[in-house]
């Protein structure tokens, strides 16, 4: 079994795309989760050249607008058709980086009834899945991320692996998958992992402490209450060979001080997370992990 560990750019909110690449290479992680917002509004030729030269794998690529349904979390248009068109355009843009998957969320129903909201999500999943499949010879994937079950009371439409799987089944596009975010779902019950492991394309790694969901703060793996050893062992036993991606934005958005201080802090966090995960992975699977990862 091969360790595959990446870092999402949301973990380094005030660094540039080039700085994120350098930190990941220095920390010997294998991939980077690309945020479209870090690419700016111009052409991507320079960013793409830097990315290809560094040897990292693009893991979860997140569109600038990543929620299908509008809500307080969204700054995009309220019209569903406009949102879907915007997200499909983002898929086409991010395709150049050949990501493992495009990461999206369903969003909140708002004033819509459950049936209407569900129909819009299914329609969007089909459009996004078909767009992604058409842009690469092997057809990359679109991955739906469930949020915490506690958020169902706020109108969030997908708050479990089962919710995501039902919508994916209804949309019926073969490249639709699931992102398992540990901060939202923790270590799911074994029966859920068994039932849905074949749909999980990437695991986002962040720890949480009791009551953390209310404060929306994530902590590094191993510093909270989630049993990562149990999760990694269970997924390995079920045949999961996908990526684990760190997603831990710093409290308050960034480290204090200037850019040099932010770079140092991001480098330290990335190295600490990589070292923790490497040791955890080796212990949980009893297979030594390689030091570095080459781009497949």
pLDDT in tens, 205-251: 999 887 655 456 789 999 999 999 999 999 999 999 999 999 998 76
Which of 137, 122, 134 lies closest to 172 in space, CA to CA? 122
Are 271 and 27 contacting, i.e. CB atoms less than 8 angstroms apart? Answer: yes
Helix pair angle (259-285, 228-237), 10° resolution: 60
- Write down the pLDDT at residue 293: 44
The strand pairing partners of 8, in sequence order, are 33
Provide the percentage of residues in the chain whose pLDDT is more than 90. Answer: 72
Domain ranges for the chain, please list them: 5-285
pLDDT in tens, 167-184: 999 999 999 999 999 999
Q: Could you write out the DSSP letters of every residue in 86-120?
A: HHHHHHHHHGGG--SEEEEB--B-TTS-HHHHHHH
**Residue 289: pLDDT over 90:** no
Q: Which residue has the higher pLDDT, 192 or 264?
A: 192
Residue 15, φ and ψ in degrees, nearest 5: -100, 160
**Across the chain, what does the average pLDDT equal?**
89
Q: What is the CATH number of domain 5-285?
A: 3.20.20.150
- The rounded distance, in Å, linking the Cα atoms of 116 and 128 is 18
The gap between the terminal CA atoms of the chain, to the nearest Å, is 15
Residue 35 DSSP SS3: strand
Are 144 and 104 contacting, i.e. CB atoms less than 8 angstroms apart? Answer: yes
- The rounded distance, in Å, linking the Cα atoms of 76 and 85 is 11
Other Cβ atoms less than 10 A from the Cβ of 287: the count is 12
Q: pTM of the full predicted structure?
A: 0.91
């Amino acid at each position: 079994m091969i360790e595959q560990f990446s870092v999402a750019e949301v973990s380094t909110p005030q660094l540039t795309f080039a700085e994120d690449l350098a930190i990941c290479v220095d920390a010997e992680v294998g991939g980077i989760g690309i945020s479209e917002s870090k690419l700016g509004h111009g052409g991507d030729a320079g960013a793409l050249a830097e990315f290809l030269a560094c040897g990292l794998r693009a893991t979860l690529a997140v569109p600038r607008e990543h929620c299908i349904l509008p809500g307080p979390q969204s700054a995009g248009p309220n019209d569903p058709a406009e949102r879907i068109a915007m997200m499909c355009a983002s898929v086409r843009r991010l395709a150049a980086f050949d990501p493992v998957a495009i990461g999206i969320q369903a969003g909140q129903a708002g004033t819509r009834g459950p049936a209407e909201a569900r129909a819009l999500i299914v329609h969007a999943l089909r459009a996004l899945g078909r767009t992604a499949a058409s842009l690469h010879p092997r057809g990359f994937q679109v991955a739906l991320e469930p949020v915490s079950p506690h958020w169902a009371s706020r109108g969030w439409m997908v708050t479990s692996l089962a919710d995501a799987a039902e919508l994916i089944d209804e949309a019926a596009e073969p490249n639709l998958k699931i992102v398992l975010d540990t901060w939202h779902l923790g270590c799911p019950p074994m029966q859920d992992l068994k039932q849905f492991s074949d749909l999980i394309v990437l695991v986002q790694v962040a720890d949480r402490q009791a009551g953390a969901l209310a404060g929306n703060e994530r902590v590094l793996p191993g510093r909270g209450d989630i049993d990562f050893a149990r999760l990694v062992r269970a997924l390995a036993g079920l045949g999961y060979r996908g990526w684990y991606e760190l997603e831990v934005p710093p409290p308050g958005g960034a480290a204090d001080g200037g850019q040099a201080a932010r770079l140092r802090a991001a480098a330290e966090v990335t190295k600490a997370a990589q070292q923790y995960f490497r040791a955890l992975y080796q212990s949980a699977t009893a297979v030594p992990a390689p030091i570095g990862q080459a781009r497949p």
